[in-house]
Amino acid sequence: MGGVCALVGENLEPLFECEIVWKGDKIVSIEGKKEGKFEGRVVLPSFVNAHTHIGDSIAKEAYVGLTLEQTVDPHTGLKTKILQSSTKKELVSAMRKALKQCVALGVTHVLDFREGGVEGLKLAKAACEGIGVQLALFGRLSKPPSKQRVLSNECFSEAELEELHKVCETAHGIGVSGANEYSDRMLEQIREVAK
């Protein structure tokens, strides 16, 4: 590829009238001039979106005008209700559309916080197939603990711990919705499982 401006290095310094040499799928050299004519084509590193909730793309506009609690409370929020009432097919379709939009905007790496336990993680992986995005997933339990259990500083049940282990095996990490959504003892258990 030749005759483009490339933004290179840590400071994305422009090189003009560049020659970019590829070997397979790797760039092996970029040569150009520090000054030159800009011809309208730019080559630059892709972008990373380090905090997404691509499942929410199923109903982006539904939350307009609501408070944060009305929107994302894991027990009563509209987001929870929409995600629970959507079919797997609808969720995968909405996530695929969102990921394709990422690629169109130059985003090639997405770090996604995924609701729905192991099943939610599997749906996100299915949505990503063939799109060309590197997806890092941070999962959580399929059902959050009750507020009463959190206030009582309870531990996870054996079933919840088993699910947490499965989430860790399926995801790249754990993505808690907020520290106050879990008791201190539960947060300690998450830390131990995620080691």
Token pair recorded at residue 29: 């050299």
pTM listed for this prediction: 0.83
Q: Where in the chain is the domain with CATH 3.20.20.140?
A: 48-194
* Backbone dihedral region for residue 189 (phi beyond 0: left; psi -120 to 50: alpha; all else: beta): alpha
CA distances, 70 to each of 67, 118, 148 (Å): 5, 25, 19
Q: How much is the pLDDT for 3?
A: 72
Confidence of residue 39 (pLDDT cuts 50, 70, 90): confident
- Retrieve residue 69's tokens: 């609690």
Placement of tokens 């959050």 in the chain: 144
Provide the mean pLDDT of the chain: 93
pLDDT band at 165 (very low <50, low <70, confident <90, very high): very high
60 pLDDT band, cuts 50/70/90, is confident
| Mean per-residue pLDDT, 69-78 | 92
Nearest to 71 by CA among 86, 83, 54, 85: 83
Q: Which fold has domain 48-194?
A: TIM Barrel (3.20.20)
